[in-house]
Amino acid sequence: MTKYVSLETIHALYDLGVRDFGESRPQSLWTRAPLLPDDVRWHFIGRWQTNKVKRTLPLIALAHSVDSWHLAERVSQESVKLGLVTPILVEVLLSGEESKAGFDPEELATTWHKLRELPGLNPRGLMTMAAESGDPEDARPTFRQLRELRDELCQQTGVPGGLPFLSMGMSQDFEQAIEEGATHVRVGSALFEGENT
């Protein structure tokens, strides 16, 4: 996650061969993406405001945080208008924290067939945020639930392996996330401790 770091750091990482960068603010993405080479894969991991979807979609390789039906519809509509098929991860709220966003897991299981029918979207997997805690092991059940939900949705749609990606785990708990099947960890502060921006 490059949201904490300067543009110079991103260029330096690029020179070292890093090609996947994650941003959580649309404006940062808009200003940074044009300044880096085209082979960078930008990941959008933050909250979307619907009025920022249109400008963000053409820049990203993967939208991690599609967290409501309303947003999914918006991303679908704008993708169709732009002639894009946007790869998305559907964010699921498993921590029970009211302050966080995401689909309720049961709601997702029942609306999944409708979501798959939205044009312009290519659902590639699921994303979640674990509850904050002093002990990274506390996040493990959340990560496991995300994997099980993914397996259930694949079974429902009869496409084994149809949702290959699980975006889960941050600086605190990425090891537990990887053990539970994460394909994308969103690590920020652990990599960039001491970096001033």
Ligand X SMILES: *Cc1c(COP(=O)(O)O)cnc(C)c1O
Residues near ligand X (CB under 6 A) are 1, 3, 24, 45-46, 170-172, 186-190
The full DSSP string for 65-132 is EE-SHHHHHHHHHHHHHHT--EEEEEEB--S--TTS--B-HHHHHHHHHHHHHSTTEEEEEEE--PPP
List, in sequence order, every residue forming a beta bridge with 188; answer none if it has no partner.
none
**What is the nearest approach in angstroms of ligand X to the Cβ of residue 155?**
27
**What is the nearest approach in angstroms of ligand X to the Cβ of residue 91?**
9
**What is the nearest approach in angstroms of ligand X to the Cβ of residue 16?**
19
**What is the nearest approach in angstroms of ligand X to the Cβ of residue 195?**
11
Q: Which two tokens stand for residue 108?
A: 């997702």
Q: Which is nearer to ligand X, 103 or 120 (CB)?
A: 103
Q: Which is nearer to ligand X, 50 or 171 (CB)?
A: 171
Q: Which is nearer to ligand X, 32 or 186 (CB)?
A: 186
Which position's Cβ is nearest ligand X? 188
Greatest extent of the chain over all pairs of C-alpha atoms, in Å: 48
Q: Which two tokens stand for residue 63?
A: 């939208």
